[in-house]
Amino acid sequence: MPNTKRSRLVACTIAVALGATALAACGSSDSDSKAESGPVSLTYWTWTPGMDKVVDLWNKGPGKKDQITVTVKKQASGDTLVTKILTAHKAKTAPDLVQAEYQALPTLVSNDALADISKQVGDAKSDFAEGVWQQTTLGTDAVYAVPQDIGPMMFYYRADLFKKYGLKVPTTWDEFAETARALKKKAPDKDLTTFSANDSGLFAGLAQQAGAKWWTTSGDKWKVGINDAATKKVADFWGGLVKEGAIDNQPMYTPSWNKALNTGKQIAWVSAVWAPGTLTTAAPDTKGKWAMAPLPQWSAGENVTGSWGGSSTAVTSDSAHKEAAAKFAAWLNTDGTALQALAKESGIYPAATNAQTSGAFATPPAYFSNQSDFYTKAAEIAKTTAPSAWGPNVNVAYTTFNDAFGAAAKNKSDFTAALDKMQDATVADLKKQGFEVAQ
Amino acid sequence: MSSTTRRRSYGVKGAPYAFLLPATLLFALFFALPIGYAAYLSFRKVHVSGLGLGSGARKEVWAGLENYSDALTDSELLHGALRVLGYGCIVVPVMLGLALLFALMLDSERVRLAPFTRLAIFLPYAIPGVVAALMWGFLYLPDVSPFYYVLEKLNLPQPNLLDGGPLYLAMANIAVWGGTGFNMIVIYTSLKSIPAEVYEAAKLDGATPLQIALRIKIPMVAPSLVLTFFFSIIATLQVFNEPTTLKPLTNSLPLTWSPLMTVYQDAFRKGDIYQAAAEAVIIAVATLVLSFGFLRAANRRQKQEAAR
């Protein structure tokens, strides 16, 4: 055992040293020609499944005409890819196109890894909801990416079990708490849902719904509002439910969680539009028994949701063919054929508003075959998404969330203290990097 | 002196260096250089001006000892070190004790099916650490574990192995399960190299098998024990796979459970490779001091015993 650990360390060291060369080999900015005429080949880092098939449509269609060939390099998702892009960017060998989650854009822009493509894709603005588009501009005149998919949040519940226990679908968070308590009374071994500390995106989305603005700017300074009144309200609400034992406190995405969903031990899940995919693998036996409803609201009559997930297509500052790359990014996320293929091959929920009601979304996902208006409802909910406010160190806030809220959920202790910890760590990191932080 | 060297041909004189060249080159390129680079990074940091959104807003500047002082005053790194210490206090004695016991049993004369047993004990070592941690993680989760199913049927208490004190036992169990076989082989091999005359002499003097084991075998394999202990200390200080794999299954494991996890978090989750480099240097120095300190202490004792 010690032997392998040691040799693994050596291997890692070698891999790191070789990294520079290997990345240089992967990099695509191979041609020095400044002219955009003549054949161009682009590399695209993405984690979307089936993207190669969508890109084939480009390479055989519009790409062939313009002599722009795109090659897909499949990557790990989310934060892992951000790290990889930043590392490649250090060696000036980032690929031409990358997939990036909205909350990662400020980090990438702040590292000067993304190109401003406002000239090439500015016209696409009208294809997207304003709140979605604003995430790609970071409130500036520049445009750093084209939105690809979005994750408006919704409430998923076991329709059959809600009926069995005589529960009503909650429309406000107060009702949600009452529903959790009512279920505990009727079936003490069941939980309405769990508070999981292993995906910060869920909590960020819930805070967004409540009107939180985690990162804002004033002049040349960043302002961090992670422990603002709106987020505190959300933290207190979930902390209270965990403390009184009305809901479970175990993390999501574990074999236990899968089993709880599959056997009806947990009967609801606050999630996003992509939930059918997750439920298909986590709870295959309960297909057709679930239903989707809008997220509960903070005050009755309101109609707001948050977003959890979603990503965009960006052009890197290292690309030698930024114009060609931007052209592809715009096609991929606004062209009808491309969006249709993305929906079919990759199962994404498009950011482009008119695609949300297009042919691919006429029928509900197979898992929700009982709810025929699934996507009509989803498109309506998507329109109510609250604006988000991301900053240059979302990763630090998210990492701190995992540990601070994990411990608070385990100990059933004060969630507000965990929130303050998150705020302090985020501010401290900004200051350490030299950002000016407004109080 | 100079007359003798002059008489030798140049080629012969240069030969040793020529033979050394490949190894030196590889060492410099793939060992010294990355370590040197890590040390260099540990004295650097980024400095952002303004909102940090334009190009050229981010510069790399000298940080002095700032990263080191941050790392040394970071309570999480210290807590991580203490957690690993507690974990090591379970792993190392249990693992080496079992390894020695198994080696002595395999070496005894009355053993049956020795080759099969040896392989069976060694086999877990061949399982990759991540796979082992995943497998045990599933076995520890009450909702999916067959053990808990049996415990429930028998109406026995079902301890939560992924929380508090039992978590250390659960984690140590994975390391012991995976590492005992390797250490057993090392000890067993050195048992096999003890000359048969020694045992013969002991038997003629009327020593029982137990006495032979305690008075002859164990003292004679002491160097192997020192070696396995040395390896185990290093492996324990570098524990990373098991806690990282178990982390998503429980709220009780922070992302900074072990010092190496803190390094990983800073480098790849928070994107601060400078801070991570400083922490890596500190861990490397601590590992060197601890393991070589142990080796020196062990050697001194052996010399003293030899002098007696």
- Cβ-nearest to A399 among B54, B183, B255: B255
| Residue of B269, B242, B255 whose CA lies nearest to A80 | B269
Residues 47-86 of chain B with CB under 8 A from chain A are 47-58, 70
Judge whether A133 is closer than 8 Å to chain B, CB to CB: no
Q: What residues in A contact B45, CB-CB < 8 Å?
A: 432-433
Q: Is this complex scored with an ipTM above 0.85?
A: no
Domains detected in chain B: 2-62 (no CATH), 66-307 (1.10.3720.10)
Whether A156 has a pLDDT exceeding 60, the answer reads yes
Q: What share of chain A is helix, strand, coil (3-state, %, to 5)?
A: 50, 15, 30
- The string of pLDDT tens digits covering residues B166-182 is 999 999 999 999 999 99
Mean per-residue pLDDT for A152-165?
A: 96
Whether A15 has a pLDDT exceeding 60, the answer reads no
Mean per-residue pLDDT for B127-143?
A: 91
For residue A439, what are its two tokens?
């109080």
Whether A432 has a pLDDT exceeding 80, the answer reads yes
Domain ranges of chain A: 36-151+309-371, 152-307+387-438
Q: How many CB atoms lie within 10 A of CB B164?
A: 11
Residue B148 Cα distances to A120, A268, B14, B157, B168, angstroms: 60, 26, 69, 9, 19
| Residue of A436, A125, A427 whose CA lies nearest to A135 | A125
CATH number of A152-307+387-438: 3.40.190.10
Closest alpha carbon within chain A to B57 = A110
- Predicted local confidence at residue B41, as pLDDT: 95
Angle of the B164-192 helix axis to the B222-237 helix axis, nearest 10:
150
Residue B251 class from Cβ within 10 Å (0-12 exposed, 13-18 middle, 19+ buried)? buried
Residues 275-304 of chain A with CB under 8 A from chain B are none
Mean per-residue pLDDT for B210-235?
A: 90
Q: How far apart are CA B185 and CA A276, in angstroms?
A: 51
Q: What residues in A contact B74, CB-CB < 8 Å?
A: none
Determine the 3-state secondary structure of A35 from DSSP.
coil
Q: How far is CA B142 from the centre of its chain?
A: 29
Q: How far apart are CA A317 and CA A329, in angstroms?
A: 14
Mean per-residue pLDDT for B81-89?
A: 94
For residue A9, what are its two tokens?
């360390």
For residue B269, what are its two tokens?
């989750």
Q: What residues in B contact A434, CB-CB < 8 Å?
A: 46-49
Contact A16 B129 (CB under 8 A): no
For residues A260 and A189, the answer to whether their CB atoms sit within 8 Å is: no
With vertex at residue A67, the alpha carbon angle to CA A62 and CA A72, rounded to the nearest 5 degrees, is: 75
- The string of pLDDT tens digits covering residues A132-142 is 999 999 888 89
Closest alpha carbon within chain B to A110 = B53
Contact A432 B163 (CB under 8 A): no
DSSP states of A215-240 = EEEETTEEEE-TTSHHHHHHHHHHHH
For residues B180 and B95, the answer to whether their CB atoms sit within 8 Å is: yes
**Residue appearing with tokens 């016209």:** A123
Determine whether domain A36-151+309-371 maps to CATH 3.40.190.10.
yes
Whether A89 has a pLDDT exceeding 80, the answer reads yes
Judge whether B166 is closer than 8 Å to chain A, CB to CB: no
Q: How far apart are CA B169 and CA B51, in angstroms?
A: 48
Q: Please state whether beta strands B58-62 and A221-224 pair in parallel, antiparallel, or not at all (unpaired).
A: unpaired
Contact A3 B250 (CB under 8 A): no
Whether A11 has a pLDDT exceeding 70, the answer reads no
Mean per-residue pLDDT for A301-329?
A: 95
- The per-residue pLDDT of chain B, averaged, comes to 89
Q: How many CB atoms lie within 10 A of CB A267?
A: 27
- Predicted local confidence at residue B11, as pLDDT: 64
Nearest-CA distance B235 → chain A (Å): 5
**Residue appearing with tokens 């996003």:** A272
> Looking at A228-232, A431-435, B109-113, B186-190, which range is the least confident one?
B109-113
Percent with pLDDT over 70 in chain B: 96
CA dihedral of A25, A26, A30, A36, whole degrees rounded to 10:
180
Whether B155 has a pLDDT exceeding 60, the answer reads yes
Instruction: Identify the top-confidence range among A137-141, A157-161, A359-363.
Output: A157-161
- The string of pLDDT tens digits covering residues B256-298 is 999 999 999 999 888 889 999 999 999 999 989 988 888 888 8
For residues A135 and A102, the answer to whether their CB atoms sit within 8 Å is: yes
DSSP 8-class letter at A176: H
Q: How far is CA B306 from the centre of its chain?
A: 29
- Fold match between A36-151+309-371 and A152-307+387-438? yes
DSSP states of A283-343 = -GGGTTSEEEEEPPBSSTT---B-EEEEEEEEEBTT-S-HHHHHHHHHHHHH-HHHHHHII
| Residue of B293, B99, B166 whose CA lies nearest to A1 | B99
Q: What residues in B contact A221, CB-CB < 8 Å?
A: 51
- Cβ-nearest to B256 among A220, A251, A403: A403
Q: In which element (H, E) is residue A157 found?
A: strand A146-158
Contact B269 A317 (CB under 8 A): no
Contact B179 A2 (CB under 8 A): yes
- Cβ-nearest to B55 among A112, A254, A402: A112
For residue A121, what are its two tokens?
């894709």
> Which residues are registered as beta bridge partners of A156?
A269, A292
For residues A266 and A290, the answer to whether their CB atoms sit within 8 Å is: no
Q: How far apart are CA A417 and CA A409, in angstroms?
A: 12
Whether A220 has a pLDDT exceeding 60, the answer reads yes
Whether A343 has a pLDDT exceeding 70, the answer reads yes
For residues B213 and B131, the answer to whether their CB atoms sit within 8 Å is: no
Whether B305 has a pLDDT exceeding 50, the answer reads yes
Judge whether A435 is closer than 8 Å to chain B, CB to CB: yes
- The string of pLDDT tens digits covering residues B94-105 is 999 999 999 999
Closest alpha carbon within chain A to B176 = A1
For residues A363 and A139, the answer to whether their CB atoms sit within 8 Å is: no
Contact B255 A250 (CB under 8 A): no
Q: How far apart are CA A56 and CA A329, in angstroms?
A: 14
Angle of the A79-90 helix axis to the A2-26 helix axis, nearest 10:
60
Q: What residues in B contact A392, CB-CB < 8 Å?
A: 48, 52-53
Judge whether B243 is closer than 8 Å to chain A, CB to CB: no
Judge whether A202 is closer than 8 Å to chain B, CB to CB: no
For residues A160 and A283, the answer to whether their CB atoms sit within 8 Å is: no
- Cβ-nearest to A110 among B58, B232, B250: B58
| Residue of A212, A208, A209, A215 whose CA lies nearest to A230 | A212
For residue A324, what are its two tokens?
């060609």
* B254-257: Cβ within 8 A, 24+ apart: B254/A402, B254/A403, B254/A406, B254/A407, B254/B76, B255/A399, B255/A402, B255/A403, B256/A403, B256/B76, B256/B77, B256/B79, B256/B80, B257/B80, B257/B83
Q: How far is CA A333 from the centre of its chain?
A: 16
> If pLDDT is split at 50, 70 and 90, which confidence band does B8 have?
low
Which among B161, B186, B270 is the top mutation candidate for probing chain A, defined by the most A β-carbons within 10 Å of its own β-carbon? B270
Whether A169 has a pLDDT exceeding 90, the answer reads yes
- Predicted local confidence at residue B9, as pLDDT: 58
> If pLDDT is split at 50, 70 and 90, which confidence band does A2 have?
very low
> Which residues are registered as beta bridge partners of A149?
A311, A350
With vertex at residue A316, the alpha carbon angle to CA A313 and CA A320, rounded to the nearest 5 degrees, is: 125
Q: How long a stretch of residues is chain B?
A: 308
Backbone CA torsion sign across B264, B266, B268, B273: negative
- Predicted local confidence at residue B6, as pLDDT: 54
> Which residues are registered as beta bridge partners of A152?
A307
> If pLDDT is split at 50, 70 and 90, which confidence band does A36 have?
low
Judge whether B294 is closer than 8 Å to chain A, CB to CB: no
Residues 108-127 of chain A with CB under 8 A from chain B are 109-112
Contact A399 B270 (CB under 8 A): yes
Residues in CB range of A265: below 8 A, 6 or more apart: A189, A190, A191, A259
Q: What residues in A contact B46, CB-CB < 8 Å?
A: 433-434
Contact B49 A109 (CB under 8 A): no
- The string of pLDDT tens digits covering residues A239-276 is 999 999 999 999 999 999 999 999 999 999 999 999 99
Whether A17 has a pLDDT exceeding 60, the answer reads no
Nearest-CA distance A307 → chain B (Å): 22
- The per-residue pLDDT of chain A, averaged, comes to 89
Judge whether A244 is closer than 8 Å to chain B, CB to CB: no
- Cβ-nearest to B235 among A5, A249, A410: A5
- Predicted local confidence at residue B265, as pLDDT: 92
